[in-house]
Amino acid sequence: MPAYARTATLAGLTSAVLAVLGGAQPYAHRPGGTAPGATGGPAPVAADGFRSVRTYPVVAPPVRLRIRALRVDSPLQRLGLRPDGTVEVPARPDVAGWYERGPRPGQPGPAVVLGHVDSRTGPGVFARLRTVRPGTLIGVDRADGSKVTFRVTRVAQTSKTAFPTDLVYAPTLDATLRLVTCGGSFDRDRGSYRDNVIVFADEA
């Protein structure tokens, strides 16, 4: 029992005695009320024992992504920024990656996971991402064994030249998840797709 709880309990008992002996004390008739001041010295003050917290729950980094509806079950590589300021992408087409300079999934903000739609020869981990429907559940396992689930709210396809950085990465304090892959037509000269497919999901 914290110190302020003990003093409050003691103060409550003092109050009860005063209420019986002395009649109308200011707060004695209230639920759990106490009466300031008592014979033989000042009443203990509950606030004296108060200490503010100096810790907060830390959300562990994500280690695995699961989307049962798409048969996706992938470990998560950590991703940062390239020297040119663009986001790193997973080293392997069959493994998704979490952008580690943003929120961790379940933290108050948009966590971003990226995955390849394909390799040069076949499908990648997010090959079917564009087919996902609103309402689909997405699971994320975290390093400390905890899990968090998100529900898809919408799917968007947008040109890479007009990529909505704001809507995907900008801070909101809402615990959300964004999944990003490629889509649209393939530009063979540049060796890349022209669009990105973005899945928006809220914590379920």
Partner 1 sequence: MRRMRARDVGSRRHLFLLLCAGMAVLLSAGPAISTTAAAGPAAHGTAAGPAAHRTAAAGSARASSADLAVRLQALLGRHSVLAADLMRSRIRGDDSFAQAANAALGGNTDAMTTLVGQLFGAATAEKFRPMWSEHIVALVAYAGAVADKDDGAKVHAREELVEYEEDLARFFAGASHGRLSPKAARAAVVMHVGHLTEQADAYAAGDYATADRLYREGYRHTYDLGLTLADALLPAADRATLRKPVWRLRSRLGEILAEHAVLLEDVNRAAVTNTADFDASADMINDNTRDLAAAVDTLFGAATARRFQSLWGSHVELLVAYAGATAAGKPDRRHETRAELGTFEKDMAAVLAPATGGRMSAADLSSALQDHDRMLLEHADAYAARDYRGAQDIAGRTYEHMFALARRLADGFGATVAARLPQGGAQTGYGGLAGVAGTR
Site for partner 1 in 27-46 (CB under 8 A): 27, 29-34, 36, 42-43, 45-46
Tell me, rounded to whole angstroms, the distance of Cα 29 from its chain centroid: 44
What are the C-alpha distances in Å from 77 to residues 7, 30, 48, 192?
51, 58, 49, 21
Closer residue to partner 1 in complex, CB, 33/75:
33
Q: Are 34 and 27 in contact (CB under 8 A)?
A: yes
Closer residue to partner 1 in complex, CB, 68/174:
174
According to CB under 8 A, which one of 72, 126, 138, 150 is a site residue for partner 1?
A: 126
Residue 107 forms beta bridges with which residues? Answer: 105
Region near partner 1 per CB under 8 A, out of 67-75, 135-143, 144-152, 175-183: 175-183
Residue 137 forms beta bridges with which residues? Answer: 151
Size of the site for partner 1 (CB under 8 A): 90
Q: Dihedral of the CA atoms 197, 87, 143, 104 (nearest 10)? A: -80
Closer residue to partner 1 in complex, CB, 32/134:
32
Residue 147 engages partner 1 in binding (rule: CB under 8 A): no
Distance CA(22)–CA(38), nearest Å, equals 10
Closer residue to partner 1 in complex, CB, 36/139:
36
Closer residue to partner 1 in complex, CB, 68/80:
80
Tokens linked to 183: 């889509």
Residue 99 engages partner 1 in binding (rule: CB under 8 A): yes
According to CB under 8 A, which one of 24, 53, 133, 145 is a site residue for partner 1?
A: 53
What are the C-alpha distances in Å from 191 to residues 77, 79, 117, 154, 194?
23, 21, 14, 28, 10
Residue 62 engages partner 1 in binding (rule: CB under 8 A): no
Residue 66 engages partner 1 in binding (rule: CB under 8 A): no
According to CB under 8 A, which one of 55, 83, 133, 145 is a site residue for partner 1?
A: 55
